[in-house]
Structure 1
């Protein structure tokens, strides 16, 4: 088996830089195009990952490991066609995308992976929906037979602003908790889950505070918030059935509420942004009360 055993980043925040612009100036009745350049360039933080061939430490005919930065759709296309070496839309810098196995160990560590460029063109797609994987490929020779093997990293999202990060982590949590094996190929994308599964995911998050499970009343409140049961005639609101299907968009993309910032500014919040804020409030200021129930 070929597996990813370590991955340092799940969110990569890049700086897109400024493109060259042309400025028109009129000089003695004639237009003159002047090219304006800026010093701001594309910047990407370095990220790392480690892969390992299990039960292959004593196999000497191992070669290097190649890494590619792929959208999940690209990984699925490679998986269906078998063209693992086909070029991806976004490239890693040439001096960072290939590394040999360590001596006497079937393990390869990519320490300075870095994107060469990035430009998001699907404007109709939310940032937290646009997930990527690092695809690792290599080959080994066993009994004169060449065997090609592949594996992928956990999901990665590329962001360009701090306001995108919260929903990104909600998206990654949803994906990793909604599939049986987050490393399997082809990659599955689950668009909706039963409320019981969503609640179990939230319950496990709050368990990290002190080991207390969410109560039935808290479950009912979270379900009503998520599904936006705001009918004033229902006091308390009717519980959400465990079998009710919850779309990913309602969990992490659709606006649930408005938040006032100052006198004029208003900011919208998704359900995940709200639950994340509640979690941090309890963790930082109300933990003793939370432990008491």
Structure 2
């Protein structure tokens, strides 16, 4: 009510100023009043709006005052009842007991019974509540990377949510970061301390920071911007375990006092599981470990236990979520069915079928030297880095079997093509097209290395025998916005040399500026696709073209 009254006083003062201003405007000579008619109307509207607001505030204040009066009445009744009980009953009874004690009766003291015993217990329980609140609100706002490469800079941010309320920032606490193993994390959660031999499992540079209080947001936090893992100490491996299966966690620790030093708190929190790698080629398997852990770990688990097998529908949701996050578009039901048949090596029956960790990322696919996850991860990486636009547009079918590709193209118009991810080449995409004789050909898969030289859209533009994207979309409509503009007026580079243009050319088929010969299967570079693999059915070469 006091705040509302202050607000009313300020607005009432503002209204008084507007009234005075309006009075000055209307008291001017008639010709000036006429000239200032617009300004007078504007001020008049301001006055009316403010008066309306003031009337509302007056009504609100009256309600608040009536409510306050009701509360005072209620409080009075409670005090009156309590006072009558104390003075007219309890105190009179105590005086009588005092009198009877002269005859040897038991005499109670003036203090309520049991207060001396209850207070210490209450204080201990309240302190425990506060301790639980403080320790539980020491959290990692920005997690460190879950796949962590040694000698690579990384960041993390820690906050104490109740830091501002408890004035912890008056003596800003320091936070220390260490990396611990899965077994150490288990010990810590069981005993609230690492125990003997609890040294870190690695060495982190720039691993201490002081929490800072942001006045505007009232947040107490510390951001570690330049941490770097220099060393890692691994556990002994068993069976088929690899270093990419091993999980660590970053431990953030701090201590501080509240209440003028009356209470001292030691707090800590663990990051999400981290897999440490030293080479880039370890990244796919490391992400398999992290993806499985993030998706299928249970709340309150023993660190860092995960199930050994999971229903396919849960795996499918995870894969679609990952693919959408990386590439901008989730997977369709047909694409998920394709992945299920690949993951189960052709033995897929229903969405509740259990997929094991070994099938997911340990055992190679049939007749391949890579696992299901390695294949999926490579496709996702290729799409994210080189095919994102066409994929989001729906121009890439991608997850489709070779046999189904042939069936889809065989009855199409000559030059109809589609794009599918290679089964035999990690991170490869192939172009399949139908010729005039209704024969389906597939180009040797392109990989990231190829697209670093020339993009997919430009390669499609180079190949004149590719006419329509399946079913009947002219290729220029589908890919034109992704073509690289060619600048005729800049034939030379900065060093004075003429710059060649690399163009994709399939021998035996049309090259830029030449006639097309689609019906020449007798050409040594052409053959009908081998049904067992989609490696070169048609060789792909590059021709240096000089635009002079």
Q: Which residue number corresponds to residue 122 of structure 1?
A: 236
Query: Partners of 2:301 and 2:266 in 1: how far apart?
Result: 15
Structure 1: gaps of 5 or more residues = 15-43, 230-236, 260-267
Kindly indicate whether residue 313 of structure 2 is the aligned counterpart of residue 193 of structure 1. no
Secondary structure class of the residue paired with 2:255: strand
Do 1:282 and 1:290's aligned partners in 2 also have CA atoms closer than 8 Å?
no
CA RMSD of aligned residues (A): 2.9
Q: Which runs of 4+ in 1 moved over 6 A?
A: none
| Superposed CA offset, 1:96-116 (max 9, x none) | 232221145421222333335
Query: Partners of 1:73 and 1:198 in 2: how far apart?
Result: 27
Query: Partners of 1:6 and 1:129 in 2: how far apart?
Result: 24
| Superposed CA offset, 1:71-99 (max 9, x none) | 12211111112214762352335x62322
Closer, same or farther: CA 185–48 of 1 in aligned 2, 3 Å: farther
- Which of 288, 295, 299 is the matching residue for 1:170? 288
Query: Partners of 2:356 and 2:268 in 1: how far apart?
Result: 31
Query: Partners of 1:82 and 1:13 in 2: how far apart?
Result: 29
TM superposition shift of 1:56: 1.6
Query: Partners of 2:357 and 2:200 in 1: how far apart?
Result: 26
Report the more deviating stretch, 44-53 or 56-65.
56-65
TM superposition shift of 1:252: 1.9
| Superposed CA offset, 1:25-77 (max 9, x none) | xxxxxxxxxxxxxxxxxxx2232211101132242355211211011221111
Kindly indicate whether residue 272 of structure 2 is the aligned counterpart of residue 272 of structure 1. no
Secondary structure class of the residue paired with 1:240: coil
Kindly indicate whether residue 340 of structure 2 is the aligned counterpart of residue 223 of structure 1. yes
Do 1:251 and 1:271's aligned partners in 2 also have CA atoms closer than 8 Å?
yes
- Which of 145, 153, 171 is the matching residue for 2:271? 153
TM superposition shift of 1:12: 2.7
After the TM superposition, which residues 1-293 of structure 1 pair with which residues of structure 2 at under 5 Å, given as runs?
A: 1-14=137-150, 44-58=151-165, 59-60=167-168, 62-84=172-194, 87-93=198-204, 96-104=206-214, 105-124=219-238, 125-143=241-259, 144-179=262-297, 186-190=302-306, 191-208=308-325, 209-215=327-333, 217-229=334-346, 239-257=348-366, 268-283=369-384, 284-285=386-387, 287=391, 288-290=394-396
Secondary structure class of the residue paired with 2:229: coil
TM superposition shift of 1:162: 2.2
Do 1:90 and 1:116's aligned partners in 2 also have CA atoms closer than 8 Å?
no
Do 2:201 and 2:234's aligned partners in 1 also have CA atoms closer than 8 Å?
no
Structure 2: gaps of 5 or more residues = 1-136, 398-469, 472-548
Do 1:79 and 1:185's aligned partners in 2 also have CA atoms closer than 8 Å?
no
| Superposed CA offset, 1:215-235 (max 9, x none) | 1x3333212211223xxxxxx
User: Which structure has the greater CA radius of gyration?
Assistant: 2
Query: Partners of 2:317 and 2:290 in 1: how far apart?
Result: 16
Give the structure with the higher percent strand.
1
Secondary structure class of the residue paired with 1:114: strand
Closer, same or farther: CA 91–245 of 1 in aligned 2, 3 Å: same
TM superposition shift of 1:185: 7.0
Query: Partners of 2:163 and 2:313 in 1: how far apart?
Result: 41
Query: Partners of 2:247 and 2:356 in 1: how far apart?
Result: 17
Secondary structure class of the residue paired with 2:365: strand
Q: Which residue number corresponds to residue 263 of structure 1?
A: none
Closer, same or farther: CA 102–196 of 1 in aligned 2, 3 Å: same
Secondary structure class of the residue paired with 2:355: strand
Secondary structure class of the residue paired with 2:199: coil
